């Protein structure tokens, strides 16, 4: 059983000092080209790999980013919101492009997640990802700031705090989507999803939605807004409740695709035709959105770009550069669930 070689083993074989080995392997200009070649060749031959723990300890940075994915605690834990899964994919890719490793962790809101990774030096910075009630974790964000933790978050800009966020223009997306359906002749809109500052993303979508209605001289009927979490089940329930209430409407705006999909199913179960009787629109453009029947009209969030922006912003934060919060545009994806 051979144990792993250390830089001393390389040094011994190369007939140089251990520090030279360290320099040679990191392509330091302080070492002669010829020596470098020799050292690197021996390192390769012995299949030597720099011990990251020792390296990180000495240099005090880890070339690792941590991703904290926190989900709505109401969500059962067997199912992860596909939108985040797709973000996770793009973040992973972006990290690897930038030469960083990625530590992934799922957390519940109530956990003591704040700063765990950065404080323990396992990661140089943290990406916070999750929908959710901002108020729930505002105090934790404040702690992060006080501890000088380097992090960025996905979501709406937090004006009250100096936090770098990357989010998408939920307001505009809601506006655009609503406007489109109005053009298709629908007039009585229901909105499924919490519309309060507790759910900033959903709220912005709702506000955009309301603005579009107002701009087109349509009434905003607050009784047609029902709370829902971002799960299919919750969307189903909310829609069922809406239907039972006997109010009339000809479009349901699901605050997320998952809600919309649930709503669509509820409508169809009750014998409504989508989109003829009731149009349905969602938000996110998760992979399954194009496979529902009818395919779901939605506002696409560009997860690839989002992941890249999050990673790039975080790296800048780590390097002490000035970074501004970014707002990405959404794009309207017209499929069939809205009538055209």
Applying CB under 7 A, which residues contact DNA? 4, 6-8, 15-20, 22-23, 25-26, 29-35, 48, 50-51, 54-55, 57-60
- Does position 104 interact with its own copies (CB under 8 A)? The reply is yes
85 binds, among its own copies, DNA, none (CB under 5 to 8 A by kind): its own copies
Contacting its own copies (CB under 8 A), which of 33, 74, 76, 78? 78
Site pattern 31..70 for its own copies (x: CB under 8 A):
----------------x-xxxxxx-xx----x-x----x-
User: Which C-beta is closer to its own copies: that of 54 or that of 183?
Assistant: 54
Tokens 């030469």 sit at which residue?
Answer: 99
Contacts of 290 (CB under 8 A, 6+ apart): 296, 335
- Give min distance, CB of 80 to its own copies, in A: 4
Distance CA 181, CA 171 (A): 16
CB of 2 to DNA, least distance (A): 12
Nearer to its own copies, 212 or 281 (CB): 281
Q: What is the dihedral of CA 315, 317, 322, 324, to 10 degrees?
A: 90
- Nearer to its own copies (CB atom), residue 25 or residue 164: 25
Please name the helix (run of DSSP H) or strand (run of DSSP E) that holds residue 116, with its range, or none: helix 116-119
The interface partner of residue 293, options being its own copies, DNA, none and the CB cut-off 5 to 8 Å by kind, is its own copies
Dihedral sign for Cα atoms in the order 77, 81, 82, 87 = negative
**Rounded-to-integer distance, Cα 239 and Cα 236, Å:** 5
Residues 181-240 that bind its own copies (CB under 8 A): none
Structure tokens that stand for 268 in this block? 């169809």
Distance of CA 23 to the CA centre of its chain: 38
Residues 132-191 that bind its own copies (CB under 8 A): 147-148
- Of 3, 61, 60, 51, nearest in space to 25 by CA: 51
């Amino acid at each position: 059983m051979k144990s792993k070689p250390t830089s001393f083993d390389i040094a011994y074989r190369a007939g140089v000092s251990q520090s030279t080995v360290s320099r040679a392997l990191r392509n330091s200009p302080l070492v002669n080209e010829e020596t470098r070649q020799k050292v690197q060749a021996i390192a390769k031959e012995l299949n030597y790999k720099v011990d990251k723990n020792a390296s990180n300890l000495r240099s005090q940075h880890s070339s690792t980013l941590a991703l904290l994915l926190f989900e709505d605690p109401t969500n059962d834990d067997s199912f992860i919101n596909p939108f985040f899964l797709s973000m996770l994919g793009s973040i992973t890719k972006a990290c690897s492009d930038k030469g960083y490793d990625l530590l992934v962790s799922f957390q519940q809101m109530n956990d003591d997640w704040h700063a765990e990774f950065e404080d323990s030096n396992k990661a140089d910075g943290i990406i916070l990802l999750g929908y959710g009630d901002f108020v729930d974790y505002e105090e934790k964000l404040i702690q992060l700031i006080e501890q000088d933790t380097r992090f960025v978050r996905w979501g709406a800009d937090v004006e009250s705090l100096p936090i770098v966020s990357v989010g998408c223009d939920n307001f505009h997306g809601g506006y655009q989507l609503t406007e489109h359906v109005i053009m298709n002749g629908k007039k009585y809109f229901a909105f499924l999803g919490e519309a309060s500052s507790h759910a900033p993303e959903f709220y912005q979508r709702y506000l955009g939605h309301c603005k579009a209605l107002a701009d087109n001289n349509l009434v905003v009927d607050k009784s047609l807004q029902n709370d829902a979490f971002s799960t299919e089940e919750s969307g189903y329930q909310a829609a069922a409740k809406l239907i039972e209430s006997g109010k009339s409407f000809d479009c349901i705006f699901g605050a997320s695709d998952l809600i919309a999909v649930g709503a669509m199913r509820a409508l169809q179960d009750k014998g409504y035709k989508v989109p003829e009787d009731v149009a349905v629109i969602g938000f996110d453009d998760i992979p399954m959105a194009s496979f529902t029947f009818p395919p779901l009209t939605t506002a696409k969030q560009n997860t690839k770009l989002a992941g890249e922006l999050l990673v790039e912003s975080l790296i800048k934060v780590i390097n002490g550069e000035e970074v501004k919060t970014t707002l990405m545009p959404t794009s309207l994806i017209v499929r069939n669930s809205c009538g055209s």
